[in-house]
Amino acid sequence: MTALPLVFDAPRRGMPPRHLADLTRDEARAAVAELGQPAFRADQLARHFYRGVTDPAQMTDVPAAAREALAEALLPGLLTPVRHLSADGGRTRKTLWRLHDGALVESVLMRYPDRATVCISSQAGCGMACPFCATGQGGLTRNLSAAEIIGQAVAAAAAMASGEIPGGPGRLSNVVFMGMGEPLANYARVRTTLRALLATAPYGLGLSQRAVTLSTVGLVPAIRRLTEEGMAVTLAVSLHAPDDELRDSLVPINTRWKVDEVVAAADAYAERTGRRYSVEYALIRDVNDQPERADLLGKLLAGKLAHVNLIPLNPTPGSPWDASPLPAQREFVARLRAAGVATTVRDTRGQDIDGACGQLAASDRVDGVPSLALPTPAMPTPTAEPPVPLGSETDGPGLEGTA
C-alpha cells in the first residue's frame, strides 16, 4: 500500500542555533556566565521564554545594556508563524510554522470547556511511511530541536494566557505529541521537551504528567527506554490493526516489531507507571473495520491496562482512504465493549482546516488554504448501548507520525 521506505535516521541538515530551552539549568547558567553576566540571569531569561515573551524590551528585570546580547545568544527566534487557520468558532487554531532552514511544521491548539490542548510536532515530516497519513506520505525532512518542539507549546500557552482564543484568558492544560513526526524517533530531544513541559517555573510549563500524552507507532526499544526513564506521561500506541498481516501494510514499522511485541512493551510501561495506555485505531472503510478485527482487537487487549481510542479516518485530498460508515463504527464499539475493553470515539477537531487526524502535511500551501476534506459526521448514540464519550481520553487532531 506504500512505496515509501521507513526512515529512522533523520537527514543530515543544519540544526537551529543553540537556545536556552535546549539546555539544562546548569548549562544555561554556565552559558550566561560565559557572556559575562551573573548566572541568575539564565533564570530570568527562562521565566520570560516560558511566558511567551519574545521582545527583549519587555524583559525589564534584565539590564537594558545586556538584553539584546543575551536574547541573541540564548533566545534566538526559531519558529516564525506563517499563518493561522481557525475552525470551531475559533476554538481550534492550526498554525503553520516556518523554521530557520525553511522547513514547515504544524501545531493545533484546541480549546474545550474544561481544558485547552495543543497538539505539537516533533519532526518536520515523518519517516514512518503510513499510507493513509498525509505526513507519513510526505517523508521526513529532519528532526526538530528540543527548543523548536517546546516553542510550539510555549506559543500555545501564551495564546491562551492572552485571550487570543475565544473564551477569554485561560491556561494551557494538556500537550499531546500527535502532530507531525514519530516522537520516539527523535528520542533525546523529545525527552528534553517532556522535562520542560513538566518542570515548574522558571524552567518549564508546570504541567502534570497525566496531562501530557506521548504517541508512537510502536518503536519497541524506545518504549522500553521510556519505561526505564521513570516518567509517567500517558502513552498512546497507534495500532490501527490487531493482526500482523494487515498492520505490516498500514503501519510499516510493524515489519520490524510485531503487534505482540508492541503491546508487550506498552504493558510493561503500564505496569511500571500504573497508568493505562491508549490504543489509537483509525477506522478505515473496508480495510480494518470488519467485525472479526474488532473481535481480534478485543481478544488482544482484554484484561490489560489499556483503552481503545477509535478515530474515524479523516481523509486527505486525493486519498483513496475513507472513514468507516456509522454502522461499522457502532458495531466495532459494541464488540470491543463486549470483550471488556474500554472504548471511546475521538472527537476530531479542525477537519475543515486540514487539522484533524492524518491531515497535517505542512506542504507548501502558504499562498492558499488547503482543499477541504469532507467532515465525518458525528457518530449517533446507539439505542441499546451506553453513550459513546467523544474525545474523553486523548485530545489531538493528528496521529504521531501518521498526522
Three-state DSSP class for residue 145: coil
The predicted pLDDT at position 134 comes to 82
Pairwise CA distance, residues 150 & 286, whole Å: 39
**Dihedral angle computed from the Cα positions of residues 130, 135, 140 and 142, in that order, rounded to the nearest 10 degrees:** -140
% of the chain surpassing 70 pLDDT? 85
- The residue annotated as part of the active site, out of 126, 130, 357, 400, is 357
* Mean pLDDT confidence for 136-141: 88
* Mean pLDDT confidence for 245-268: 97
Which residue would you say has higher pLDDT here, 228 or 374?
228
Mean pLDDT of the chain: 87
Q: Closest Cα partner for 266 from 281, 258, 276?
A: 276
pLDDT tens, residue by residue, 52-78 = 999 999 999 999 999 999 999 999 999
Three-state DSSP class for residue 76: coil
Pairwise CA distance, residues 283 & 275, whole Å: 25
* Mean pLDDT confidence for 270-280: 97
- Residue 278 grid coordinates: 491508549
Which residue would you say has higher pLDDT here, 315 or 393?
315
Q: Does residue 146 surpass a pLDDT of 70?
A: yes
Three-state DSSP class for residue 44: helix
**Which helix (H) or strand (E) segment is 149 a member of?**
helix 146-162
Helices marked H in 176-250 = 187-198, 220-229, 244-250
Which residue would you say has higher pLDDT here, 192 or 375?
192
**Which helix (H) or strand (E) segment is 93 a member of?**
strand 92-98
| Residue 362 banded pLDDT, cuts 50, 70, 90 | low
Pairwise CA distance, residues 137 & 3, whole Å: 9
The predicted pLDDT at position 22 comes to 97
The predicted pLDDT at position 328 comes to 96
Residue 292 annotated to the active site: no
The predicted pLDDT at position 369 comes to 28
Which residue would you say has higher pLDDT here, 381 or 92?
92
The predicted pLDDT at position 352 comes to 55
Residues 6+ apart with CB under 8 A from 370: 317, 353, 354, 361
Region of poorest pLDDT, from 31-45, 283-297, 366-380: 366-380
The predicted pLDDT at position 349 comes to 57
The predicted pLDDT at position 361 comes to 58
The predicted pLDDT at position 167 comes to 96
Number of residues that this document lists for the chain: 403
Q: Does residue 317 surpass a pLDDT of 90?
A: no
* Mean pLDDT confidence for 3-16: 78
Q: Does residue 177 surpass a pLDDT of 90?
A: yes
Q: Does residue 152 surpass a pLDDT of 70?
A: yes
Residue 130 annotated to the active site: no
Q: Where in the chain is the domain with CATH 3.20.20.70?
A: 80-353
The predicted pLDDT at position 360 comes to 55
The predicted pLDDT at position 10 comes to 75
Q: Does residue 295 surpass a pLDDT of 90?
A: yes
Pairwise CA distance, residues 158 & 381, whole Å: 37
The predicted pLDDT at position 11 comes to 73
* Mean pLDDT confidence for 170-182: 97
Q: Does residue 202 surpass a pLDDT of 50?
A: yes
Q: Where in the chain is the domain with CATH 1.10.150?
A: 20-74
Instruction: Note whether 213 and 396 are within 8 A (CB).
Output: yes
Q: Does residue 293 surpass a pLDDT of 60?
A: yes
The predicted pLDDT at position 74 comes to 98
Note the Cα 299 to chain centre separation in Å. 28
The predicted pLDDT at position 292 comes to 98
Note the Cα 312 to chain centre separation in Å. 18
* Mean pLDDT confidence for 253-278: 97
- The residue annotated as part of the active site, out of 106, 182, 280, 400, is 106
How is domain 80-353 classified at the architecture level of CATH?
Alpha-Beta Barrel (3.20)
- Residue 149 grid coordinates: 518542539
The predicted pLDDT at position 25 comes to 96
How is domain 20-74 classified at the architecture level of CATH?
Orthogonal Bundle (1.10)
Which residue would you say has higher pLDDT here, 200 or 360?
200
Pairwise CA distance, residues 229 & 239, whole Å: 23
Helices marked H in 199-320 = 220-229, 244-250, 259-273, 291-301
Instruction: Note whether 205 and 154 are within 8 A (CB).
Output: yes
